[in-house]
Amino acid sequence: MNHFNWRKGVLHAEGVPLTAIADAVGTPTYVYSSATLTRHFRVVSEAFGDTPHLICYSVKANSTLAILRLFSGLGGGFDIVSGGELARVRQAGGDAGKTVFAGVGKTQEEMEAALAAGILLFNVESAEELEALDAVGRRLGRRAPFALRVNPDVDARTHRYISTGLKTSKFGVPFEEAVALYARAKKMKGVRAAGLDCHIGSQLTQASPMRDALTKVAGLYRELKAQKHPLAYLDVGGGLGITYADETPPSPEEYARTVLAATKDTGAQLILEPGRALVGNAGVLLTRVLYRKKTPEKQFVVVDAGMNDLIRPALYEAHHGLQPLVKRRGKAVEVDVVGPVCESTDVLAKARPLVLPQPGELYAFMSAGAYGMSMASNYNSRPRPAEVMVDGEAWRVVRERERIEDLWRGERA
């Protein structure tokens, strides 16, 4: 569910007509609904009931400070994959003590900063990383809390670029090596085992891969506890999918039932790392039609948003719904909606039935809250979009549109 709806033929975010935002701020612009963000966080948390759990929002999905502050205010923690994301969390008022640090390539400088900040957990992804973390802990005179991220070799049945739990993946420690690594860690003076972690991929639309992976991981957790490793946390990862077109991902309630059934009797506090599930359908990208172009084979609609603003269609062949901000009547024709970036892959919506729009008309790419602005770039020397947060009938700019002179800030000719 989201709070983007039609009122008298005009698409609104909560109580605000999106046309008003586009006219005031310009396009392209990302718009987020605070009511949707809040609802999604609470629905996921409530699905786990009284089971001890911590929602650590996956910052890479959307690292905008206003969103981080909102989740922090709801009691959430964070899942980060870089020192920069830790800095953003702290700038937004987030608690490092509710933050887990994942990723295969943490530098020792990043480890030091996170340990000094009081990080909850390092999710360690290799034997050499564990040794590096031990060195950092000894240097700082602390024992760094860690969980091994294990790779259960389970097919997430998602896009190959966002599947992370197979033997061929760069992520995680091979399942069969985990017990020996925990035994090695017992002899290290700069680390302490605090948990176990698993994440098999993103945009998961079936419960069975989650069930299969977590059943294996929960069994390993029980084995490690029996060996007297002082584990307290079982990080079940994230990856719950959303509906972009016709997907039917598990509901938060079904997701919780799957996780709880697989992890029962572990006694662990669960760490959940939703990203897309919280923010994906809470954001849209506003764009304005520039031109129409007809060739013998195609009808194109050229808009002012491009693949540098929303790269998912080019990167993953991803689908985003497309809605006019003002409803139109007429016969639909099949068009490709393309951006101004000088690449053939800059196709934001392929073979879509649209009432052929006029130049100047406004549209919204739906379900753009996740991996939209966080993956935006300045390719073709294009300033990145503005961002707006809506709260009821009020709205505010939470990131100003980049200016042309921002493009070369820090450079020397």
Question: Which residues fall in the annotated binding site for pyridoxal 5'-phosphate?
Answer: 239, 273-276, 371
What is the C-alpha to C-alpha distance for residues 214 and 220, in angstroms, rounded to an integer?
10
Q: Is 198 a catalytic residue?
A: no
> Which residue carries 């564990």 as its tokens?
130
Residue pair 312/371 in contact (Cβ under 8 Å)? The answer is: yes
Q: Residues annotated in the binding site for substrate, as ranges?
A: 276, 312, 316, 343, 371
Residue 240: DSSP 8-state: B
CB 335 within 8 A of CB 355: no
Residue tagged active-site, from 342, 344, 360, 412:
342
Which positions make up the binding site?
Answer: 239, 273-276, 312, 316, 343, 371
Find all residues with CB under 8 Å of 393, minimum gap 6, and list them: 14, 15, 16
- Token look-up 């379900």 returns 367
DSSP 4-47: EEEETTEEEETTEEHHHHHHHH-SSEEEEEHHHHHHHHHHHHHH
> Residue 18 corresponds to which tokens in the numbers above?
């999106």
Longest dimension (CA), the chain: 73
The neighbour count for residue 403, using CB atoms within 10 Å, is 9
Residues forming the active site: 342
